[in-house]
Amino acid sequence: MPELKVASPGETRIGWIGTGVMGHSMLGHLLDAGYVCSVFTRTASKAQDLVQRGAAARSGPGDVARNSDVVFSIVGYPHDVESIYLGDDGIVANAAPGSVLVDMTTSKPELATRIASASLAKGCAAIDAPVSGGDRGAREGVLSIMVGGETEPVRAVMPLLEVMGKTIVHQGGPGTGQHTKMVNQTLIASGMIGVCEALLYAYRSGLDVERVLQSVSGGAAGSWSLTHLAPRIVAGDYQPGFYVEHFLKDMGIALDEAARLELCLPGLALAKQLYQALAAQGHAKSGTQALVLALAKINNMQIGHDD
């Protein structure tokens, strides 16, 4: 594989695939940092303002790869990742030797290792780098990025990751970034149940919920979800910083991996069941904080605005 140069504005060509809730802001930061960028997204209108800001529109994953030194992707599901990387007109088939391919989708560890092997055979390097921090973390450029891949390509793209994130940790070889994201999602899953149940208790007991949050957010019960998502619940804001349907996908991957590792994770299994009920109630495209609505329904309560 050719020697990899550390990415720098004006020299490194960036390709980007996926401009959803998080990807849009992430590419925006790279444009602001002065990188030459191109973009492909299935819904062209979602990238229109990015093109107006200087990103070149491409016709598909292969077109992105042919015109990039580093390709980033953040799409919805593992089957999307497999299609854009390993399809006939995919990234791997069209990337030049020496390219670095960085998938930031939360996906299957096994798929990440397959992409890495296929990339190596083409003289490229593939990195799995899923993120945490939601829409706010993406907008503010403070995401946590969990990186799996070989040392040299990780070093080469680190300046790019630092534009988008605050906490960037190289976990090990291919697939380890995805395994770390499963740890992250397992923590969030049970934690969101606690946040929602605690708020329902506060409502039912007649407390001033905003005052309650002032007391508990900075103590031993504090968490990212409590600080950032509980106020959205109080405001009746269930807009997605992270979609329920994508969280269900993540929990499914984590439970499949747990089964393969012969782990019993009842808290994660319960959270997935509750989120499946929430999705069945019409909230698949709501934010994960909407879990409170499913729990409120069980308790015959109505809080905020169920929109």
Reported as a single tens digit per residue, the pLDDT across 230-257 is: 999 999 999 999 999 999 999 999 999 9
Query: Rounded mean pLDDT of 66-87?
Result: 97
The pLDDT of residue 306: 47
One-letter amino acid of 48: Q
- Is 181 catalytic? The answer is yes
d(CA 41, CA 47): 7
HSE-up of 49 (CA within 13 Å, CB side)?
7
Query: Is a pLDDT exceeding 50 seen at residue 307?
Result: no
Are 174 and 126 within 8 A, CB to CB? yes
Query: Residue 274: is its pLDDT beyond 80?
Result: yes
pLDDT in tens, 143-179: 999 999 999 999 999 999 999 999 999 999 999 999 9
Task: Determine which one of 181, 249, 285, 297 is catalytic.
Answer: 181
Q: CA dist 225 to 58, 120, 137, 141, 235, Å?
A: 37, 38, 12, 18, 15
Give the model's confidence band at 41: pLDDT under 50 very low, under 70 low, under 90 confident, else very high.
Answer: very high
Distance CA 27, CA 114 (A): 26
Whether the Cβ atoms of residue 293 and residue 224 lie closer than 8 Å to each other: no
Interval 122-144: pLDDT, tens: 999 999 999 999 999 999 999 99
Please give the pLDDT value at position 4: 84
Q: What is the rounded average pLDDT of the residues 191-219?
A: 96
